[in-house]
Structures are given as structure tokens and as C-alpha cells.
């Protein structure tokens, strides 16, 4: 699914329903590890009635120390690459899968703005990672446009679309 600049609540719900259907069909529990979305992915998934049948856990880790303690991200990774990097999101998604007992996980880290961007990592830079139990973690880099809300909405939409693909793949 292509991600619109400002996915609507209805579009996010439709994406969540796709995740739910795929997770239920495969009898897999889902976990989320979020930074820039502040729990929005987990909220969208758990807005669905019956989500306890397939939603295991969600964790919001804004700080380095939270990423380290709650997800097992290596402090050296954060020092070397920063919170918004492929290496960090891969460790986040792997940690979520290992620590929370799910069969598939998604992790997001990025710069939603309006401040915090740099020339190398401007506002709208977001890494999203996915991993299935027994599989390899993989991640994609996104450069979303718009204000804080738009960046976060696009991140939620891309994370959910990718999770459906991960479940079906």
C-alpha cells in the first residue's frame, strides 16, 4: 500500500484490520516497539475488539536508557549510530521479539519534528523494522513529508502495511 501524506483514522483502522486478520489466520502474536509514534501503532491495533487474541505487547522507548533496558539495544550502537538508524531499529525489533514472546514484531524510530532534525537526518527521517520469530530482521528508511502529525501518521500506516506483508510473507 502506498502511504498517503495524511492517512485518515479510517485508513489506519483498515490497515490494523489487515494485520489482525493475518495474525489470527497464522495464530501469531504481535509486538510493537515504538519511539517517534509514541504508542500510536499499538493503540491502533488494540482499538480493535478482540485484539488480546493476537496482540502480545507494545513498548514506547524514547530515551537511550529505555531502548537499552526495555529492548536490549546495545549502548555502543546508540553511541555510534544514534537512535534514528538502521542498526538501532534492527536491535529494537529483535529485542521486542525476544523479550515479549510474540511471533512477529515491528519497531519504529525517527524524527517527527518540528525540531530535532539535522542535515544528515532531517525531520521526517524514519526507520521501520520488522522481524518474524526464526527469521531475520529487516528495515526500511523513509523520508516522510509534513508536520509532526503527518510524519507520525505516515509512520503508523507504513509500519502496519509492512507488518501485514511480514505476516503474509
Question: pLDDT digits over 119-168, tens only?
Answer: 999 999 999 999 999 999 999 999 999 999 999 999 999 999 999 999 99
Q: In this structure, are residues 75 and 81 in contact, taking their beta carbons and an 8 Å threshold? A: no
pLDDT in tens, 23-43: 999 999 999 999 999 999 999
CA–CA gap between residue 64 and residue 75 (Å, rounded): 8
Q: Has residue 2 got a pLDDT over 60?
A: no
Kindly report the backbone phi and psi dihedral angles of residue 39, in degrees, each rounded to the nearest multiple of 5, phi listed first.
Answer: 95, 5
Mean pLDDT over each residue of the chain, to the nearest integer: 96
Predicted pLDDT of residue 169? 87
Residue 163, all three cell numbers: 507488518
> Does pLDDT of 3 surpass 90?
no
Amino acid at each position: 500500500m502506498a502511504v498517503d501524506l495524511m492517512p485518515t483514522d479510517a485508513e489506519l483502522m483498515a490497515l490494523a484490520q489487515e494485520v489482525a486478520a493475518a495474525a489470527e489466520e497464522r495464530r501469531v502474536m504481535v509486538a510493537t516497539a515504538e519511539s517517534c509514534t509514541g504508542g500510536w501503532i499499538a493503540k491502533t491495533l488494540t482499538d480493535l475488539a478482540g485484539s488480546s487474541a493476537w496482540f502480545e505487547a507494545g513498548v514506547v522507548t524514547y530515551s537511550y536508557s529505555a531502548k537499552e533496558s526495555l529492548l536490549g539495544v546495545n549502548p555502543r550502537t546508540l553511541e555510534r549510530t544514534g537512535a534514528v538508524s538502521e542498526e538501532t531499529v534492527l536491535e529494537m525489533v529483535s529485542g521486542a521479539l525476544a523479550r515479549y514472546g510474540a511471533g512477529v514484531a515491528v519497531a519504529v524510530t525517527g524524527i517527527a519534528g518540528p525540531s530535532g532534525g539535522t542535515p544528515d537526518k532531517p525531520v521526517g527521517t524514519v526507520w521501520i523494522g520488522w522481524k518474524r520469530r526464526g527469521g531475520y530482521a529487516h528495515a526500511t528508511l523513509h523520508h516522510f513529508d509534513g508536520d509532526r502529525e503527518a510524519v507520525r501518521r505516515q509512520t503508523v500506516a507504513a509500519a502496519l502495511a509492512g507488518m501485514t506483508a511480514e505476516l503474509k510473507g
